[in-house]
Structure 1
């Protein structure tokens, strides 16, 4: 946000189920249609009819779907380590379909074991030692996830994946920049390459050497430079500001 605020109005959103946004418990409240509509409502509430949209992981999935359903509202699409929704497949998705048990496993020892491993383990954590989350960062995540209903809200994104993704069988018509950490432990690099099959506009894929799934933490300067280059190409800031 600090990097791009000089030339853009930059807004970061706590999607439903995260941070201080609403935490509905019903999994039906997290349908991808509802999550995409949330983004549309936010953009319009802020007084815009289109935007440059940036998303990572689940945010990336919602960004892909938003660009599919509302192509006229996306000037440029930037996605970090999240494949086109038609390519989503992962064994851990099935585990999260179970009721209550995933919440129990994640909440053991006040959430600390699972969450700390997610961000710091050698296989799934942030790749560069100098970029690791501080104790204060981790405590902030622990606090947010420990609020009543917060963990269920986060897991409900997974619980809707199989019912909602058939809606994604369409192409993206916006220019797309896909940034991918070479050492992503969650998604294979071949999935990034395959995304070009679903783009009907300019598509640029940048594989960032040595970066993990958390590439914006691993290589923030490289990520920012690549985004700046993409934003300044072709359709630029003038069309965004309209």
Structure 2
């Protein structure tokens, strides 16, 4: 088993006033040669956007982009004609493919919006751009890991052009569980949203990240009040 630990306080940080962002991996003006990506996981940004502010229209291509709101309402518009609001309990995905433009703004004028911005390298380039978002409330149960993303269109959750599976866990009681990998050459990156989680003996606190590979399964202990995002992704790109 191979592991890498990224404590919350070691992340890159940029505070632009309207945007307060923590970068697990190299992004924008933050560069760490030892933290460029974890397998196919390229970006994990923990963003807080001020009231009424946001990201103006900007381009992307050949990247799978996932947004997971943690609080507040985020308004999205793109060059494919989509206009939508995503909020806590939703997940959004864009396959940028041959190229898209989009913007994201905090729809609220009285509170911040907090969300995770995640980029995954695709396993197929120059695909037709696409957009999707769903509410994950109907497929989520407490005290277990609920799959919210996969490579399969027919699965519950959203899908992307990559052999990746994302799961979210929200624990209202102390819970022990095991996670079995879907693909033998995949690793997993676990990101603690709230509380305290132990993965194969490694203790993790809020906003800590832990990468694991060359292992068949993970043993996870989550304390009451914890929330966890598990991203299973290929280790080679």
Choose 1 or 2 for highest CA Rg: 1
Normalized per residue, which structure has more helix?
Answer: 1
Which has the higher relative contact order, 1 or 2, with Cα contacts under 8 A spaced 6 or more apart?
1
TM normalised by structure 2 equals 0.29
Normalized per residue, which structure has more strand?
Answer: 2
TM normalised by structure 1 equals 0.28
